[in-house]
Amino acid sequence: MARDKDPAFLFYDGDASKDVSHMNRLERGCYFDIIQAQRKFHGITMEQARKILGKDFEKCWPALEMILSCEDGVFFIEWVRDSILRRKAHAEKQKKRIQDYWDKKKTEDHGNTTVLPLENVIENENEIVIGLKKEWQISVTKKYLGDKVKIIYDLRTYFQTTKQLEGLEQAGWTKFDEFMKANPSRVFESDDFVYNSYRNFCTSQPNGKKTLTFEELEKARQK
């Protein structure tokens, strides 16, 4: 079966908890092996299940079979399949939006480039992942109970989510990759800390462009 190239799907811990409520610890471990296999192959045959679970197959398969669906000899966890299909549909929609944007851009004069549709922003119950995984990353920790940790691989896309990108580009502050490389694995206390650190980084490294004052930048952001 074809493998799914999408980097993520939403994990519904409530559905998983219901599935494993009757299982012991060994069976629960096998359950998550099945999730990984389904993520990779979209479903597994009985032969694949024996290969994946190894010596634990005979002990654990009866408990697993109780919560698995089966179509044409292929076993799968229904909520995992639904989640993968929804994620795939979302990715296709995002891809089309991006392509439509660039197709339209080709027919227009140079203008504001900050209206790109948000791409590769994945949100789950505990965190928000911004950008595809790269060598460098920074993160923003949770400040309040309802907040989510932000894992940032693409700083430009991150500033799109905070509505600060337009002002930064007007100021000529576009050293996004340089900032990421200079702050590998750094944890920031809030979005404001990221913004202020990035602003200080850009103003301390002249790039030949006109640099706006903080007051000028704030006015530009408010327009």
pLDDT digits (tens, 9 = 90+) for 83-122: 888 877 777 777 777 777 666 666 654 454 444 445 577 8
Evaluate if residue 5 carries a pLDDT over 90. Answer: no
pLDDT given for residue 106 in this prediction: 62
pLDDT given for residue 93 in this prediction: 76
- What's the one-letter identity of residue 213? T
- What's the one-letter identity of residue 153? Y
pLDDT given for residue 52 in this prediction: 94
Rounded Cα–Cα distance for residues 221 and 14 (Å) = 41
> What region does 163 belong to: left with phi over 0, alpha with psi -120 to 50, or beta?
left
Beta bridge partners of 130: 121, 152
**Which two three-digit tokens encode residue 190?**
């809030």
**Which two three-digit tokens encode residue 47?**
């032969």
Q: Give me the helix-helix angle, 78-106 and 25-41, nearest 10°.
A: 30
The answer to pTM > 0.75 is no
pLDDT given for residue 204 in this prediction: 83
Rounded Cα–Cα distance for residues 77 and 80 (Å) = 5
pLDDT given for residue 116 in this prediction: 46
Domains and CATH numbers, the chain: 1-111 (1.10.10), 117-222 (no CATH)
Neighbour count for residue 101 (Cβ, 10 Å): 15
pLDDT given for residue 208 in this prediction: 41
Rounded Cα–Cα distance for residues 163 and 203 (Å) = 20
